Amino acid sequence: MTLQIAVIDDWQGVAGDLVDWSVLAGIGQVSFLHDYPAATEVMAARLAGYDVICVMRERSTFDQALLRQLPRLKLLVTGGMRNAALDIKAATALGIQVCGTESYKHAAPELTWALAMALSRNLVSEANSLRAGDWQVGLGNDLYGKTLGILGLGSIGQKIARYGQAFGMRVIAWSQNLTAEKAAESGVEYVSKQALFEQADLLSVHLVLSDRSRGLVDAQALGWMKPSAYLVNTARGPIVDETALISALQHGRLAGAALDVFEQEPLPADHPFRTLANVLATPHVGYVSQNNYRMFYSQMIEDIQAWAAGTPIRPLG
C-alpha cells in the first residue's frame, strides 16, 4: 500500500522546492499542507488520512487527544531533536514512531544578534523614515564597552558571547546550572541572577523552556534592569512574563525589547507587541533559514526512508 505522507506547517509554501521529495515516490505520496494550527477536531479531520506526518518544530501540537484521532498515523517526524509540542509518551503508547533531525547551529544566534543590533541602533524606524521620504529620526545606541548579559550559556548562548566579545562588550552570564568554571571556559564572567539583570545593558535569553525556566524573567527580574537596558528573547516566549514585560515597556522601565518568540503563536492581531513603539518583533524566524530548512527536510526524508526499511534513525523518546 502506498503511504500517505503529509508535510504540514509549510506556512510559507517553500518545503516542496528546498529539497527533492521525489525520492520518496517508491514509498508514498507526499502532500504539502500550508494551514495554521487549529482546534483538535479540525486538525484530526485534516490529518486523518495520513500514515506519516512531518512537522516543523513546535508549530503544531500533537497531544494525546489529537494522536488518538489519527488511527492511520505510524510515523511522526519533527524538525530538530527536541519538540515540546509532541506528546512522545502518548505516541509511543499508540504505536507511533517519533523521529527528529539535526539543526543548523548558526541560524538562531545570527538572528539574535541581528535583532540586538537593529534594536540598539533604531534601524527599523530609520529605514521606515527613509522610505517615507524623511531623514534621521532618532539617536542610536552603541554596543562597544557595554555589558552583555546572557541568560543561559548553552550552545547558542556561547555563540552570542563570542559575538559580544567581538564587538568589545563585557559579557556576563547566569543560569541555574551554570558555574563560574564553565563560564570562564567561554571567557565569560559568572554572576548571580540579580547581578545579571542589574548590570546588563543588553540581556539576551537562551534557555530551554522547562518548568524551571517558565516565567523566570518575571516582574521582579525586569524590575532589576536599568531603564536604559534592552531585552532580547529568541528562545521561547513563556520564559518571559509577557504581562510584566508589556508593563515595563509601556511605563518606560525598560528601553526596548526585541522578540522573536511569544506566549501564543502566531501572535494575535491585537497583541500590544504589534504596536508598542519600543518593541522590535519578528514572527519566530530564528530557525527559519535556507540552511536550517534544508537540513530539516533532507533529514526528514532520511527518517522516512530508514523507518520504511525497518531501521528508524534519530528516534525521540
Annotated active-site residue 106? The verdict is no
Mention every residue, 6+ apart, whose C-beta is less than 8 A from residue 263: 237, 238, 242
Q: Are 153 and 183 in contact (CB under 8 A)?
A: yes
Annotated active-site residue 265? The verdict is yes
Q: Name the DSSP class of 267.
A: P
| Active-site residue (options: 57, 59, 206, 284) | 284
Alpha carbon separation from 220 to 175, 227, 301 (Å, rounded): 16, 14, 46
| Active-site residue (options: 265, 271, 302, 314) | 265
- The three-class DSSP label of residue 95 is coil
Residue 277 CA to residue 265 CA, distance in Å, equals 21
Residue 284 CA to residue 265 CA, distance in Å, equals 8
Mention every residue, 6+ apart, whose C-beta is less than 8 A from residue 119: 230, 232, 256, 257, 258, 280
Annotated active-site residue 284? The verdict is yes
Q: Copy the grid coordinates of residue 49.
A: 488520512
| Active-site residue (options: 57, 206, 236, 242) | 236
Instruction: Just list the catalytic residues.
Output: 236, 265, 284
